[in-house]
C-alpha cells in the first residue's frame, strides 16, 4: 500500500495518516497507457478526503470515477496493466479484468420464460402468491406509499401498465460505472426482463389485469447494476447499496451474486479488497435503515461451506463467501417449488428464509399457473421465470409489508419479524445435506415467508 506524500500539499500530507500506508512503497515508474482500461474498486480508511484518493490514483496511473468517503471506497479506471500492483493487491480489484477466466459461468437465473398478452386477469395462475398468503394479505393491507423498495437489477420497464403508480423516477439510477446516474435512460432495461420480473412480484398493480404483486401500494426504485452482457461487478453493487442509503430505501432486492466468480475470499489478494468494499457498503446502508435481501444462488451448492469455485478455479474455504448473500447483514433466500420443497437448483447453507422460486419438477395443478412464478416482462408482457432470483422478491415484498405496518422498525427488527412469522419447514427425510430443526435449518432457514402475518400480527 502506497505512501501518498509525493503529490500532496502540506495540508494534504497531514491527512495521509488516515489512509492505509505500507512500510515501503515500490519505485514509481512511468504510466503504461497502452493496456485495456478497466474499472477497479480501491480501499481507503473511511473518512479519508476525496482529494487524497484522487492524488494517489493519479500518481499510480488511475483516474477517479467516484469516491464514497463514508466507507473509504473509491471507484477508479486505469489502462495500466500494473495498476493493482501499484496500489496494493489487498486494496484494489477489478471484476471485469477477471472475466476472461470466467466465461464458462452458468447463468441459470432465468431457467424458464414464456410470454402472454396483457389485459387478462391471470391472478389464478399465481400459485406462488397463494403459497405465501399474499392474496389474503392484499385484502388487509397493500403496503404504504411511503415505503421505497430498491430493485437492484437489470432495470425496470416503467412503461409497463403494472407500474403506472409504482416506479419512482426520482429515486432511480444507473450504477454500472460505479457512480450513480439518475437520468431516465440509465436505469431502463435494455437486454433483459429480469429486473422487470422481480419488480412485478413485489409491487405489480392490483388492477384486475395481469398479475398482482405482494405490496402493490409501495414505491419502487429501479437501480440498474447488471450490464448488458449480464454481469454484476463490485463497483455497481457498491453504488447501488450507497444509493439505497442516500435515498432512504426500506429494503433492497439483489437477485444476483457479484461477478466474476461464485466467491470472494477475505484472505486472498484482490478478492479481499472487493469483499471488504462490498461489506462496507452493505454495512453502511444497513446503518442508514436499509434491509438488504439477496438470492442464495442457483448452483445447488452449500454456500456456507465453500469447497471449490467452478468459475474461477482456486482454493476456497470458509474465508470465502458469495456476495452479497454471504454477508452477515444480508437476508439470504433459498427457493422452493409448488410442493414447498427446496428447488433442485437452489443453494442452501447460509439461509434466513425461503420463498417460491419455482421448480420444473414440482408442477402445479392445471389452471394454477406454470411451475415458474408468473410476473411482468418488458414491453407490457407477462411471463414465468424460475430461480432464487424469483424467490428473493417474494421475501422483499413481505418485508415491504412489514415496513408498512411497522414504520419505526429497524433493519434488525424487520429481519426478526420476518423470521419469527415464517412458516417452519422441516428437513426432508433421509437428506443429509439438510441439517437443523424445522424452525432453522440449512435448506429453508426459519421457513416460508408469510405475507398475511406481516399485516395482521
Domain boundaries, the chain: 5-94, 123-456
For residues 202 and 389, the answer to whether their CB atoms sit within 8 Å is no
Does pLDDT of 25 surpass 50? no
**Cα dist. 419→241, 359, 395 in Å?**
23, 23, 11
Indicate the range of 23-37, 78-92, 105-119 predicted with least confidence. Answer: 105-119
State how far the Cα of 430 lies from the Cα of 397, in Å rounded to an integer: 33
pLDDT in tens, 169-228: 999 999 999 999 999 999 999 999 999 999 999 999 999 999 999 999 999 999 999 999
Tell me the per-residue pLDDT of 238-286, one tens digit each, with 9 for 90 and over: 999 999 999 999 999 999 999 998 999 999 999 999 999 999 999 999 9
- Alpha-carbon distance of 93 to 33, in angstroms, equals 18
pLDDT at 97 over 90: yes
Which SS3 state, helix, strand or coil, does residue 129 take? Answer: helix
For residues 60 and 28, what is the distance between their CA atoms, to the nearest angstrom? 8
Mean pLDDT of 83-102: 88
Q: Which residues contact 191 (CB under 8 A, 6 or more apart)?
A: 154, 228, 229, 230
How does residue 88 score in pLDDT terms, banded at 50, 70 and 90? very high
The DSSP H or E segment spanning 398 is: helix 388-405
CA distance 112 to 453: 30
Q: Which of 25-29, 34-38, 196-200, 303-307 has the lowest mean pLDDT?
A: 25-29
Whole-model pTM: value is 0.93
Reported confidence tier of residue 59, pLDDT bands at 50, 70, 90: very high
How far apart are alpha carbons 127 and 140 in whole angstroms? Answer: 19
Share of the chain above pLDDT 90, in %: 86
Q: How many whole angstroms separate alpha carbon 291 and alpha carbon 232?
A: 20
SS3 229: coil
Q: Are 314 and 264 in contact (CB under 8 A)?
A: no
CB 132 within 8 A of CB 394: yes
Interval 143-150 mean pLDDT: 98
All three cell numbers of 95, joined, read 471484476
Nearest to 409 by CA among 293, 294, 286, 289: 289
d(CA 118, CA 230): 27
- Please give the CATH number for the structural domain made up of 123-456: 3.40.50.200
Query: What are φ and ψ of residue 270, in 5° steps?
Result: 85, -65
The pLDDT of residue 141 is 98
Amino acid at each position: 500500500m502506497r505512501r501518498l506524500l509525493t503529490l500532496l500539499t502540506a495540508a494534504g500530507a497531514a491527512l495521509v495518516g488516515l489512509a492505509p500506508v505500507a512500510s515501503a512503497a515500490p519505485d514509481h515508474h512511468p504510466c503504461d497507457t497502452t493496456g485495456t482500461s478497466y474499472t477497479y474498486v480501491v480501499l481507503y480508511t473511511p473518512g479519508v478526503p476525496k482529494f487524497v484518493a484522487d492524488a494517489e490514483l493519479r500518481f499510480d496511473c488511475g483516474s477517479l470515477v467516484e469516491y464514497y468517503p463514508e466507507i473509504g471506497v473509491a471507484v477508479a479506471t486505469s489502462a495500466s496493466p500494473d495498476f493493482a500492483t501499484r496500489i496494493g493487491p489487498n486494496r484494489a480489484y477489478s471484476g471485469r479484468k477477471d472475466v476472461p477466466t470466467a466465461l464458462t459461468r452458468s447463468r441459470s437465473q432465468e431457467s424458464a420464460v414464456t410470454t402472454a398478452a396483457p389485459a387478462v386477469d391471470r391472478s389464478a395462475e399465481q400459485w406462488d402468491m397463494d403459497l405465501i398468503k399474499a392474496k389474503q394479505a392484499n385484502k388487509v393491507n397493500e403496503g404504504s406509499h411511503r415505503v421505497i423498495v430498491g430493485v437492484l437489477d437489470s432495470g425496470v420497464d416503467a412503461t409497463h401498465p403494472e407500474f403506472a403508480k409504482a416506479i419512482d423516477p426520482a429515486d432511480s439510477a444507473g450504477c454500472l460505472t460505479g457512480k450513480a446516474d439518475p437520468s431516465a435512460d440509465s436505469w431502463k432495461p435494455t437486454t433483459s426482463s429480469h429486473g422487470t420480473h422481480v419488480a412485478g412480484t413485489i409491487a405489480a398493480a392490483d388492477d384486475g389485469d395481469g398479475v398482482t404483486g405482494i405490496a402493490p401500494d409501495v414505491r419502487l426504485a429501479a437501480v440498474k447494476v447488471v450490464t448488458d452482457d449480464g454481469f454484476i461487478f463490485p463497483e455497481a453493487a457498491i453504488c447501488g447499496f450507497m444509493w439505497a442509503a442516500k435515498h432512504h430505501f426500506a429494503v433492497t432486492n439483489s437477485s444476483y451474486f457479484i461477478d466474476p466468480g461464485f466467491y470472494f475470499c477475505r484472505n486472498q489478494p484482490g478478492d479481499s479488497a472487493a469483499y471488504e468494499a462490498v461489506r462496507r457498503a452493505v454495512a453502511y446502508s444497513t446503518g442508514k435503515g436499509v434491509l438488504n435481501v439477496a438470492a442464495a444462488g442457483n448452483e445447488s451448492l452449500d454456500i456456507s461451506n465453500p469447497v471449490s469455485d467452478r468459475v474461477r478455479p482456486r482454493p476456497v474455504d470458509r474465508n470465502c463467501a458469495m456476495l452479497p448473500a454471504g454477508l452477515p447483514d444480508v437476508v439470504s433466500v433459498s427457493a422452493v417449488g409448488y410442493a414447498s420443497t427446496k428447488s433442485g437448483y437452489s443453494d442452501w447453507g447460509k439461509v434466513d428464509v425461503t420463498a417460491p422460486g419455482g421448480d420444473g419438477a414440482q408442477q402445479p395443478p392445471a389452471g394454477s399457473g406454470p411451475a415458474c412464478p408468473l410476473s411482468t416482462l418488458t414491453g407490457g408482457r407477462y411471463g414465468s421465470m424460475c430461480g432464487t432470483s424469483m424467490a428473493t422478491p417474494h421475501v422483499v415484498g413481505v418485508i415491504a409489508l412489514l415496513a408498512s405496518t411497522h414504520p419505526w422498525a429497524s433493519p434488525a427488527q424487520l429481519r426478526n419479524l420476518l423470521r419469527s412469522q415464517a412458516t417452519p419447514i422441516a428437513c426432508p427425510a433421509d437428506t443429509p445435506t439438510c441439517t437443523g430443526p424445522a424452525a432453522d435449518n440449512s435448506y429453508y432457514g426459519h421457513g416460508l415467508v408469510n405475507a398475511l402475518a406481516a399485516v395482521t400480527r
